Chains A and B, each alone.
Chain A
Amino acid sequence: DGGITQSPKYLFRKEGQNVTLSCEQNLNHDAMYWYRQDPGQGLRLIYYSQIVNDFQKGDIAEGYSVSREKKESFPLTVTSAQKNPTAFYLCASSPGLGLTDTQYFGPGTRLTVL
């Protein structure tokens, strides 16, 4: 089955630790995205990537980092500089960054800082 996988489903972190969230897709999509979702809010874009070895900051990139070494993988690192990291994180992909390229979402990772 083609799709997007995110792991782990639940993640707990102590304050001051970096943590990496995994996102893998086998849809052969060029573009990938990371969003953050907080209760009662819509999705906010953290980073996106159009192609391997290239990525752009979204609206709330501070305290986060990404890499795109392979087309199918786009891991997100939540660093200790992120002041309020507890949230639900969603990864998405699309064929490209064109206006008609629909984004498809993974199941999400819930990060809790203890």
Chain B
Amino acid sequence: AQSVTQPDIHITVSEGASLELRCNYSYGATPYLFWYVQSPGQGLQLLLKYFSGDTLVQGIKGFEAEFKRSQSSFNLRKPSVHWSDAAEYFCAVGAGETSGSRLTFGEGTQLTVNP
């Protein structure tokens, strides 16, 4: 079965600083990888996804992520963080089953942005 690990429960950065959120996955075949963001009390919004092809994926709100098969990682990055980026971020891996795909989520990383 697939699994996702987000090693950092909470990260604090200053506004304007760069950001990297870590995600490691475990899955035997080629994974389908996603990053979602959740504002307090809200649903999840898709930031970006990786299915195949170029390993550097661009998403919304200036985010990007890089798939590294050798490290089983899919880290999320942003060059300059804005105060509005404060939220919880979830990495997820999709895997096929006979009855269809299933998403497995990491436990999330809470991002705090200091002014």
Residue ranges of A at the interface with B (Cβ–Cβ < 8 Å): 4, 6, 31, 40-45, 48, 50, 56, 58, 90, 92, 96-108, 110
What are the residues of chain B within 8 A of A56 when measuring CB–CB? 99
In this assembly, does B45 line the interface, its C-beta being within 8 Å of a C-beta of chain A? yes
A97 touches B43 (CB 8 A): no
Q: Which of B36, B42, B46, B101 contacts A107 (CB 8 A)?
A: B42
What are the residues of chain B within 8 A of A100 when measuring CB–CB? 32, 51
Knowing A97-B99, A97-B101, A100-B32 touch, does A108 contact B41 (C-beta < 8 A)?
yes
Please name the residue on chain A nearest to B52 by beta carbon.
A100
Question: Known pairs A99-B96, A102-B46, A107-B43. 10 more at Cβ < 8 A?
Answer: A6-B43, A42-B105, A48-B100, A90-B43, A92-B44, A97-B99, A99-B51, A101-B101, A102-B49, A103-B103
Knowing A56-B99, A97-B100, A99-B32 touch, does A41 contact B43 (C-beta < 8 A)?
no
A-B Cβ contacts below 8 A, count: 62
Residue ranges of B at the interface with A (Cβ–Cβ < 8 Å): 4, 9, 32, 34, 36, 41-46, 49, 51, 90, 94-96, 99-103, 105-108
B105 touches A43 (CB 8 A): yes
What are the residues of chain A within 8 A of B46 when measuring CB–CB? 102-104
What are 16 A-B pairs at a CB distance below 8 A? A6-B43, A42-B4, A42-B107, A43-B103, A45-B102, A50-B100, A97-B100, A97-B101, A99-B32, A99-B94, A101-B101, A102-B46, A105-B36, A105-B43, A106-B43, A107-B42
In the bound complex, CA of A102 to CA of B32 (Å): 10
In the bound complex, CA of A45 to CA of B102 (Å): 9
B101 touches A99 (CB 8 A): yes
In the bound complex, CA of A97 to CA of B4 (Å): 20
A42 touches B90 (CB 8 A): yes
In the bound complex, CA of A103 to CA of B35 (Å): 11
